[in-house]
Structure 1
Amino acid sequence: MKKWTIVLALVFSILLFIPTKVLAVDYTIEHTKIDAFLQENGDVQVKEQHTYQFDGDFNGITRTLIPKEHSLIENVQAFENNQSLKIKQEENLYKIYRGGSDETITIDLSYTIDNGMEIYTDLGQFYWPFFDSSNESTYENMDIYIHPPQSTDDVLAIGYDEAEGTVQSTKDGMVHFALGEVESEENGDIRVAYDATLFPSATVIEGKTIRDDITAEIEAYEKKMAAYENRQDFLRGFAPYVVGAFAVSLLILLITAWRKRRAILWEVARNSIQHSRLPNQEMSLPATILYMKSMAANGDLLSAALLDLVRKGLVERKNEREFVVVNHSTDYHHEELFIQWLFYKIGKDGRFSLDTLETYTKDKKNHQSYHDHFSKWYKAIKAEIKEHSLVDQKVTLRWTVALGSLLLIAFTILFGVHDLFMWMFFSILLSGFLFIFALIYQPRTLKGARIKYYWDQFSSHYHNMDTKQWNEWMTDEQMQAVIYAIGTNNKGMLKKNETLLHNIPTANDGFHSTSNNDIIFLMLIASTISSNFQEADNTVSAATGGSSVSGGGAGVGGGGGGSGAF
């Protein structure tokens, strides 16, 4: 007995913690038809027909019926093919039991709204919300029909919210509200009024009339619709000019930008020579690498920055994993920050090793400090790039285009509100293109284009360089080329480095032995340094959270309702 108690407790616990969505029934309410038959005594007999399509197992459907003040829902019954179904009531929620799986079913409901009408001296009105904002389901297609006690031509009808503009009066006084699709959590009250003489046995609210109020509301709605149609006609004629003007403007912007870019590239190519040799260094190597790759700082850039300090003689390698500062005469602010960070924050007394880096980043207390120093160093490199004015910000043009994009969004909303969906689509498309243009358009200056052109030329010719050409270079040029390949992670250049590595004279050859050994060292340990920096960055990024850088009755009079399934 104790064993079964434990098992049941475990099962109950598991069910308790299963997400609600897992247990939810998958269904669609394909069609809902509601017929309300107004009675002479002021009651309303309602018949509803709901067609559900279920995907998976189900136990039945639900219908929430919330009465208005001074009214009452009575005698709720459910049928399928004239066969009575079990109903369980929980306050205003009615559960209709009809289980199955993967079926389309049609359920008929009937009930009486006791005192559902309001009878005034001149008119009797049925003012009712068959659903309200507490409804959790979408009705794919809803039709509501109001039937008077007798045939009549004297009828006033109006709908609100989702029911607005859906009135289709027919002969004999029956009113059809063709709502179509009704989204969940929406209100939609219907209001129909007939001459009070049609309800002789109902209780009359003496001394008060409502015809003028309803007529005024209908007239106000008709005026609103007339104004809406006038605006729609105006916008339909105006839309081609608006969309056309913005389309032409975008085309002019793109053509102008393309022509200016071609002119700058032509000027750079005209004044350049084939760069098989290393371009003149106009910026530091880390800044050049970052500018050429337009990337976020990563292990390759960190590795290149460290090896560049070795090249410049500011840092000396002790072995494959350890480095020491030998000179503090830096040329750039980011070099100073880099040395302070690596050799005095992570390392100690001017000494840094990859083992120290691993130990430092494994301690969670150091993660924020790592992130902060990393960001300062990265921003300092970007500041150096900015000082050289390599891109034209085009601030005035970009702001103008951005404001134009916002103006077009305003037209997009107007087109959508007035059901001009084709023009709304074109407006959204153009607005998006304009916004993207304003966001990213920063053309290279002549200097920026020249630097990119020279380094691109160098990279493409580097692949075809033979050993003789390589050996004719100064050692510093060779080291810059190797570091550039490492920092940009240029696969072709890195592969070429491997080829050159086998042909570099070593100490045993007696030719540039020390310098050549330095180059060999750079090539051999580059991947190790990059992977260590990348692992450190990933560790910190994971810790810092990013890269280093039931219905209440919302209808009229408190009434309402909704539909669902279980």
Structure 2
Amino acid sequence: MKKWMFVIAGLAFVLVVTGCGGKKSFSMDQVDTRAYVMPDGDLYVEELFTYTFHGSFNGSTRYIEPGEHEGIEFFEAYQPPPGKKLGEFSYENLSSLNTEWDGENDTYYIHDAAKDEVKQVYYRYRIDQAAVRYSDVGKLDFSFFKNSNQDIHHVSVDLYLPSEYNKTDVYGFLHDRTGGELTTGGESALHYENDRLSEYGDAEIVMLFPQNQLPQMKVSQNGKSFKQLLEAEQKREARMELRDERMQWAGKVAAALTIVFLLGAIMYLLSWRRISAWLNRKQVSRDELALLDPLLKTYLYRKSKLTQKDFIAGLLSLRNRGFVTVKEVPSSARFLEEPTAPDTTLLFTFRGDAGLLSPAEQQLVDWLFKDRNGGREFRLDSVAGPTFKEKQNDELIVKYRKASERHAAAFKQWKKAVSDTDPYADEVKPNVLLKFLVPVMVIIHYVLLLYLFYADVAASLSIVLIAVLLGAGGILASIKYTSKLWILLYHVACFVIGSQIVHEDGSSSYLILVLSSALLAALIPKYRMSWKTQKYRFALKDWGKELRKGPAAGGTQADRAEAERDAEHAVLLGIIPQYVKRLRTGQEDGAVYAAATIPLLFSADILASMQYTQTHLGILSSGSSSSGSSAGYSGGGGGGGGTGAF
């Protein structure tokens, strides 16, 4: 099992364990609200919340967003009399509770400690200029329970007008797509009920009523008329009536596309060419693999995605072709003072004709080799980062950081040159299908998401923002189609945005589509390899598995030659630590090879030296640790605010 699978399994276990703990909890079991539109356009609200607390709490919280209104004139909380319903008592004789306002999250914190009990809290507040008076109509648009921490059960809201009116002149519209029922013609001007108001709901109610109900309010100058407002609301109501039908249609489209994407993912997952190459990997002998160029083997093994440490494969390629000689030498003085650093390293000397080198090989030599001792040399430990002692010196840290950046930049240029050079460029080719598939995926998700939000009767502003942001991300993913990271990030963005769709059927169908589409994007190969190339790569992987188990003991010269070949492949396949561990355990630091008549360079000590250099190419940025507390309510537990408890 891969490391990342262990990490995911571990995180899932932690989440399950922590989720099963006996943490405190609360519920909002009932909320009764009476809201009165005042003659001056203010909205006076009375609320009676019923909570059930499990565990100890400091009190409750109430989120109130002024929005486009003039602000909150006052907010008060009281302990209501037991057994009384809203409207059966007055606040004058009640015991008031301490409240504090957190302007950063528009939340009031009500200090009324509770522990393992059912408790009621009575709120009263007034919103300034909540209503708007137009020339021929009055309008109230208010969200009563926006930003709740959890679902609220048994919610009722009654809206009252300040004076007598004709009931047929009052129109009510519910802008909450999560559910609820709004009625007119009763004792109150509007009555809203919801057995379970979702935490994502807000009970946003729009009421149109005669403008003479607001005699103390100035007429708005924006020119909106009753006809315009009513037509806009009726159009939205018409969209709501078509919501289920449109969502069902979109769900069918999403289901069909899901099947297409899953079939594509299965096709790539069960690619016959890849499976056939795997089945025939045993046909490739070790001798046949040994004849391949060292850098080509690493290039195939990594599917062209060379890492910084793979410059060693380039050096071994030059050594294999006779351009470079190599010998073991003592490490630089700075490593001899480091207990964990190796005492020996490798010295590469360029001996060949530079005119015979390919552009990529010439770039590697110019990058690494320096003129020394009448020739061109490269010490392996010269690219290693600072020792523990050197890390205590800030000036040296800056020096090594710059060297690390130069090394990374040079490696990037060399890697590009290798990918443009035969036979590397011919063995692993970019998959041109990505150039067409990525834009197709982007267009499908872009169009379908916008339609889903339109069908879900989302606000126009939300649709515009999604169109702009998702469009920009889609263009970027299409331009950078050669990198799977961008198209996968685009899928993540689509998943996050799609989870905001309120309609459950539409949301679930689309999210399944995103997952299947992301699976296809992850499985489709970034590079194309021939059947023969894949067969060689699978054979190399098998060899690597065997090398992880360690070298075979042997005393003859042929055995030692095979051991050197194995050690070289341990370097090329990036499994030095496992190989060295087995080598030290079975061969006592490689002493069995001491009498070798061939130039054995890959003893346990040399391999350890290589590994040390490879793992110390970069340097971690050293930054001062900072301490601080997350912003939140000083009373404790308020966090990001919202309607709930703390």
What TM-score do you get using the length of structure 1 for normalisation? 0.67
Partner of 2:289: 279
Pairing 1:411–2:411 present: no
Structure 1 letter corresponding to 2:248: R
Pairing 1:105–2:119 present: yes
Alignment of 1:15-26 (within 5 A): none
Q: 1:86 to 1:479 in 2, by over 3 A?
A: closer
How many angstroms apart in 1 are the aligned matches of 2:192 and 2:273? 61
How many angstroms apart in 2 are the aligned matches of 1:457 and 1:207? 82
Alignment of 1:14-53 (within 5 A): 32-37=31-36, 46-51=45-50
Q: 1:468 to 1:78 in 2, by over 3 A?
A: closer
Partner of 2:301: 292
How many angstroms apart in 1 are the aligned matches of 2:617 and 2:142? 60
Partner of 1:191: 207
CA shift digits 1:38-77 (9 cap, x unpaired): 6899987642123456775526656769699899957956
How many angstroms apart in 2 are the aligned matches of 1:213 and 1:457? 77
CA contact (8 A) 1:27 1:565 kept: yes
Partner of 1:321: 345
How many angstroms apart in 2 are the aligned matches of 1:421 and 1:80? 41
Partner of 1:451: 536
Partner of 2:157: 144
Partner of 2:338: none
Secondary structure at the counterpart of residue 350 of structure 1 = strand
Partner of 1:154: 168
Partner of 2:496: none
Structure 2 letter corresponding to 1:414: Y
Among all aligned residue pairs of Structure 1 and Structure 2, give the percentage whose two residues are the same amino acid: 14
Partner of 2:604: 524
Structure 2 letter corresponding to 1:484: H
Partner of 1:12: none
How many angstroms apart in 2 are the aligned matches of 1:50 and 1:155? 31
Pairing 1:343–2:380 present: no
Partner of 2:568: 483
**Which structure has more RCO (C-alpha within 8 Å, separation ≥ 6)?**
1
Q: 1:286 to 1:263 in 2, by over 3 A?
A: closer
CA shift digits 1:107-144 (9 cap, x unpaired): 11246789988899987x57263659xx7755733542
Partner of 2:192: 177
Q: 1:529 to 1:167 in 2, by over 3 A?
A: same
Alignment of 1:381-460 (within 5 A): 381-384=418-421, 387-395=424-432, 397-409=433-445, 410-415=447-452, 417-418=455-456, 419=503, 420-438=506-524, 440-456=525-541
After superposition, the CA RMSD in angstroms is 5.4
How many angstroms apart in 1 are the aligned matches of 2:437 and 2:285? 38
CA shift digits 1:514-553 (9 cap, x unpaired): x2xx12x3223332322331342143x5479xxxxxxxxx
Alignment of 1:120-269 (within 5 A): 125=138, 127=140, 129=142, 138=149, 140-141=151-152, 143-147=156-160, 153-159=167-173, 162=176, 168-174=182-188, 175-178=190-193, 180-181=197-198, 183=200, 188=204, 190-193=206-209, 203=215, 213-214=225-226, 217-230=229-242, 232-234=244-246, 236-237=248-249, 239-240=251-252, 243-244=255-256, 247-248=259-260, 250-251=262-263, 254-255=266-267, 258-261=270-273, 265=277
Once the two structures are TM-superposed, the CA of residue 376 in structure 1 deviates from its matched residue by: 3.1
CA contact (8 A) 2:136 2:226 kept: no
Give the gaps of 5 or more residues in structure 2: 1-23, 83-93, 330-343, 391-395, 457-502, 624-640
Q: 1:253 to 1:431 in 2, by over 3 A?
A: closer
Secondary structure at the counterpart of residue 510 of structure 2 = helix
Once the two structures are TM-superposed, the CA of residue 327 in structure 1 deviates from its matched residue by: 0.6
Once the two structures are TM-superposed, the CA of residue 323 in structure 1 deviates from its matched residue by: 1.6
Secondary structure at the counterpart of residue 170 of structure 2 = strand
Q: 1:218 to 1:243 in 2, by over 3 A?
A: same
Once the two structures are TM-superposed, the CA of residue 467 in structure 1 deviates from its matched residue by: 7.5
| Deviating more after overlay: 303-312 vs 399-408 | 303-312
Once the two structures are TM-superposed, the CA of residue 84 in structure 1 deviates from its matched residue by: 1.6
Pairing 1:58–2:58 present: yes
Q: 1:49 to 1:215 in 2, by over 3 A?
A: farther
Q: 1:104 to 1:381 in 2, by over 3 A?
A: farther
Secondary structure at the counterpart of residue 98 of structure 1 = strand
Q: 1:167 to 1:156 in 2, by over 3 A?
A: farther
How many angstroms apart in 2 are the aligned matches of 1:315 and 1:374? 22
CA shift digits 1:492-513 (9 cap, x unpaired): 8768877696665826xxxxx2
Secondary structure at the counterpart of residue 49 of structure 1 = strand
CA shift digits 1:422-454 (9 cap, x unpaired): 43233223332333345x353421342243255
How many angstroms apart in 2 are the aligned matches of 1:316 and 1:455? 25
How many angstroms apart in 1 are the aligned matches of 2:261 and 2:414? 41
Q: 1:113 to 1:136 in 2, by over 3 A?
A: closer
Once the two structures are TM-superposed, the CA of residue 145 in structure 1 deviates from its matched residue by: 1.0
Q: 1:69 to 1:346 in 2, by over 3 A?
A: farther
Q: 1:466 to 1:249 in 2, by over 3 A?
A: closer
Structure 2 letter corresponding to 1:433: L
Structure 2 letter corresponding to 1:286: L
How many angstroms apart in 2 are the aligned matches of 1:120 and 1:465? 88
Once the two structures are TM-superposed, the CA of residue 261 in structure 1 deviates from its matched residue by: 1.2
> Which is helix-richer, 1 or 2?
1
Q: 1:74 to 1:263 in 2, by over 3 A?
A: closer
Structure 1 letter corresponding to 2:533: G
How many angstroms apart in 2 are the aligned matches of 1:52 and 1:39? 29
Secondary structure at the counterpart of residue 603 of structure 2 = helix
Once the two structures are TM-superposed, the CA of residue 34 in structure 1 deviates from its matched residue by: 1.7
Give the gaps of 5 or more residues in structure 1: 1-24, 508-512, 545-560
Structure 2 letter corresponding to 1:281: L
Structure 2 letter corresponding to 1:482: A
CA contact (8 A) 1:390 1:447 kept: no
Q: 1:131 to 1:522 in 2, by over 3 A?
A: same
Instruction: State how many pairs are aligned.
Output: 500
Secondary structure at the counterpart of residue 85 of structure 1 = strand
How many angstroms apart in 1 are the aligned matches of 2:41 and 2:26? 36
Q: 1:102 to 1:304 in 2, by over 3 A?
A: farther
Structure 2 letter corresponding to 1:368: E
Structure 1 letter corresponding to 2:608: T
CA contact (8 A) 1:121 1:205 kept: no
Structure 2 letter corresponding to 1:367: S
How many angstroms apart in 2 are the aligned matches of 1:374 and 1:356? 15
| Deviating more after overlay: 482-491 vs 272-281 | 272-281
